[in-house]
Amino acid sequence: MIIIKLNFGGFVSLSTIDWRGKAVCTLFLRGCPLRCTYCQNETIQTGEDYRDIDEITAMIKTSSPYISGVVFSGGEPAWQKEALIVLARYSKKMDLSVGIQTNGFFPDTLEALIMEGLLDKVAIDYKTTWEGYSGTTEGYNPLAKENYKRNVQKSIGICKKAVENKQLDEFEVVFTIFYENQEYIRQISDKIGDVPLVLQQGEHKIAPMRSATPEMTEGEYICKKQTQQKRHPPLRLNEIKEIADTLKKTVRIRTRDIGEISYNWRHIL
Ligand code: SF4
């Protein structure tokens, strides 16, 4: 018998923000081939914390009376294909909906889950021209940069087709938006067509600088982070709405202050 282990990143037993309209538990899978400069989960981009699958299924089981779904997040959950499939099967057996938050780098995993009827929702975090990527690979998948765009486009194609074929209920593309990358959003919006789009307020961090220079003290890190954030403050809600107006489609907007709203560009007509 093959024993499958999971490189564990964390577990939230009850969340009402990871899947609109649902109470879910959220499992974070450790490890990601990318190094986005704004990553909120930098502590689980790397490292090892292998757990037996039974330990993870027990966590889901404990949450099950209070939830209607499970969200797999990370890190990059689709990187641990075998463990993910086992856990998605378990969740389905427990009569729970299954969602995934992914960077789209592993289309084969998405396809396998969809073909087996194990996914209800996919949210792909689209980073397009690598504006959010630090270029630091730290021994992780050096091909990430080269193959990223092709893989993400393949993942989007798989999910769009699955929605058309009614194999997938929900699919959305999430774009983390900054002052510097707003010019790309129109191209992305045109490319993805009528897929629901979420514009998520981005906030600059200097995480890669910290891991690249471990001798930096906590004080120096905070000081550098503040300087960086002052230079590039997050876009405000009104600025994101103005960008959404140029797309001429209804989008969802996420910001730190208001959470998530649906925004209809037609209000300007
Ligand atoms: S893809 Fe997600 S988990 Fe990976 S580095 Fe980027 S933001 Fe972090």
**How do residues 215-252 score in pLDDT, each as one tens digit?**
677 787 777 767 766 767 889 999 999 999 999 889 99
Segment 41-52 shows an average pLDDT of 93
Task: Give residue 226's pLDDT.
Answer: 73
Q: Which amino acid is at 170?
A: E
Tell which one of 103, 181, 210 to mutate to probe ligand 1, the residue whose CB is within 8 A of the most ligand atoms.
103
Interior/surface letters 16-38, b for 16+ CB within 10 angstroms, e for the rest: eebbeebebbbbbbbbbbbbbbb
Q: Identify whether the C-beta of residue 70 lies closer than 8 Å to the C-beta of residue 98.
A: yes
**Contact 32 CB / ligand 1 (< 6 Å):** yes
Gap between the Cα atoms of 119 and 168, Å rounded: 6
pTM of the complete model: 0.87
β-strand partners of 263: 251
Determine the average pLDDT of the residues in 31-58. 90
pLDDT at position 103 over 50: yes
Domains of the chain with CATH codes = 5-263 (3.20.20.70)
**76 Cβ below 6 A of ligand 1:** yes
pLDDT digits (tens, 9 = 90+) for 53-83: 999 999 999 999 999 999 999 999 999 999 9
102 lines ligand 1 (CB under 6 A): no
Q: From the alpha carbon of 132, which atom of ligand 1 is closest?
A: 6
Binding site membership of 18 for ligand 1 (Cβ less than 6 Å): no
